[in-house]
């Protein structure tokens, strides 16, 4: 029986990071600009601490400055907003990222919207979400950006293909749907209220799962020859598994991302890409070739 190609997100992200490193070096040598990424971490969520540490390491490796601000779990919203405003005003900072989730007393939407859209490297402010909707150049969310790059390693021209995106979050599903629409896909957005998920999935040339439910998407949901992008990260015992039943889907798909080692590494790489873009654009320089 046919077995899918495995899309090696780790290797593709590494190659992307090398190109970002090149663009950063050029910004430094030609324009004396060293991009700076500031990450704000509130509270003690262990997974968030790991993410922030990994982002810091990757940022420095790409030749950029990494700035970390840690606030206590009982920090007040006004304190976080004041910090974001200071980072907005700091010319050495090109990217501002507030690590999610924020503690329950904080209105995350309000905090995110304080970020200067020019420094919004997560692409989550109303300004950047609006630009994506309008098809105007902005900073786009990292995980969907990484997902589209992975799809394009398999199929360069996506026009006319049917993409089914499962999940409609602000972070992944909605922006990914818009990006695939911008690539001229015919896009179906599926979600928790979709009536016949299996049948909807079976019509997809490109199937993207961003749900957060382990192995929700069974092998027989996958059309023969489809490209499958598994964004989900679910902890099951000691293991991390995706939203897609990998073994079953790999029997039918043309190509599929593994979990871990698929979309995950692309997210950080795209964050670095956004930081270089933000650094260049803020200074009126053309977008670096990446």
188, two tokens = 């179906």
- What is the C-alpha to C-alpha distance for residues 166 and 172, in angstroms, rounded to an integer? 10
156 carries an active-site annotation: no
157 carries an active-site annotation: no
Nearest CA to 178 out of 231, 126, 227, 132 is that of 132
Q: Which is nearer to ligand NAD, 66 or 143 (CB)?
A: 143
Identified catalytic residue from 122, 205, 230, 243:
122
Number of residues that bind ligand NAD (CB under 6 A): 25
Q: How far is the CB of 129 from ligand NAD (least distance, A)?
A: 14
| Options 57-65, 126-134, 175-183, 184-192: segment touching ligand NAD (CB under 6 A) | 184-192
Q: How far is the CB of 52 from ligand NAD (least distance, A)?
A: 14
CA distances from 116 to 27, 68, 128, 253 (A): 22, 18, 10, 41
If binding is defined by CB under 6 A, does position 263 make contact with ligand NAD? Answer: yes
Q: Which is nearer to ligand NAD, 171 or 280 (CB)?
A: 171
Asked whether 278 and 119 are in contact (CB, 8 A), the reply is yes
If one counts every other C-beta atom within 10 angstroms of the C-beta of residue 7, the result is: 25
Long-range CB contacts (within 8 A, 24+) of 23-27: 23/276, 23/288, 23/289, 23/290, 24/62, 24/63, 24/64, 24/276, 25/63, 26/288, 27/276, 27/279, 27/280, 27/285, 27/288
If binding is defined by CB under 6 A, does position 264 make contact with ligand NAD? Answer: yes
Q: Which of 115, 171, 222, 229 binds ligand NAD (CB under 6 A)?
A: 171
If binding is defined by CB under 6 A, does position 168 make contact with ligand NAD? Answer: yes
- What is the C-alpha to C-alpha distance for residues 65 and 94, in angstroms, rounded to an integer? 10
If binding is defined by CB under 6 A, does position 197 make contact with ligand NAD? Answer: yes
Which residue's entry shows tokens 């049948």?
A: 199
If binding is defined by CB under 6 A, does position 173 make contact with ligand NAD? Answer: yes
Long-range CB contacts (within 8 A, 24+) of 127-130: 129/170, 129/175
Binders of ligand NAD among residues 199 to 238 (CB under 6 A) are 210-213, 216, 231-234
| Options 105-113, 114-122, 131-139, 161-169: segment touching ligand NAD (CB under 6 A) | 161-169
CA terminus-to-terminus distance, the chain: 38
Binders of ligand NAD among residues 51 to 110 (CB under 6 A) are none
If binding is defined by CB under 6 A, does position 24 make contact with ligand NAD? Answer: no
99 carries an active-site annotation: yes
Nearest-CB residue to ligand NAD?
Answer: 169
Which residues contact ligand NAD by CB under 6 A?
A: 143, 166-169, 171-173, 190-192, 194, 197, 210-213, 216, 231-234, 263-264, 267
The residues carrying an active-site annotation are: 55, 99, 122
């Amino acid at each position: 029986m046919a077995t899918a190609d495995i899309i090696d997100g780790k290797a593709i992200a590494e190659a992307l990071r090398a190109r970002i490193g090149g663009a950063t070096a050029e910004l430094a040598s030609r324009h004396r600009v060293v991009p700076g990424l500031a990450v704000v971490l509130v509270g003690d969520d262990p997974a968030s601490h790991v993410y922030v540490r990994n982002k810091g390491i990757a940022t420095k490796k790409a030749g950029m400055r990494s700035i970390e601000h840690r606030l206590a779990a009982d920090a007040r919203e006004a304190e976080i907003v004041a910090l974001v405003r200071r980072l907005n005003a700091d010319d050495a900072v090109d990217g501002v990222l507030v690590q999610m989730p924020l503690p329950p007393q904080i209105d995350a939407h309000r905090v995110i919207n304080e970020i200067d859209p020019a420094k919004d490297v997560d692409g989550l402010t109303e300004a950047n979400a609006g630009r994506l909707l309008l098809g105007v150049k902005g900073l786009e969310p990292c995980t969907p950006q990484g997902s589209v790059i992975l799809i394009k390693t398999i199929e360069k021209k996506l026009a006319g293909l049917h993409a089914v995106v499962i999940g409609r979050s602000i972070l992944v599903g909605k922006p990914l749907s818009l990006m695939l629409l911008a690539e001229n896909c015919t896009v179906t957005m599926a979600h928790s209220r979709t009536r016949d998920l299996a049948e909807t999935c079976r019509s997809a040339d490109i199937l993207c799962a961003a749900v957060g439910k382990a192995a929700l998407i069974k092998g027989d949901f996958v059309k023969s020859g489809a490209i499958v992008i598994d964004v989900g990260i679910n902890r099951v015992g000691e293991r991390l598994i995706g939203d897609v039943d990998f073994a079953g889907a790999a029997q039918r798909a043309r190509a599929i991302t593994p979990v871990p080692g698929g979309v995950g590494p692309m997210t950080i790489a795209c964050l670095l890409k956004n930081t270089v873009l933000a650094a260049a654009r803020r200074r009126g320089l053309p977008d670096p070739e990446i």
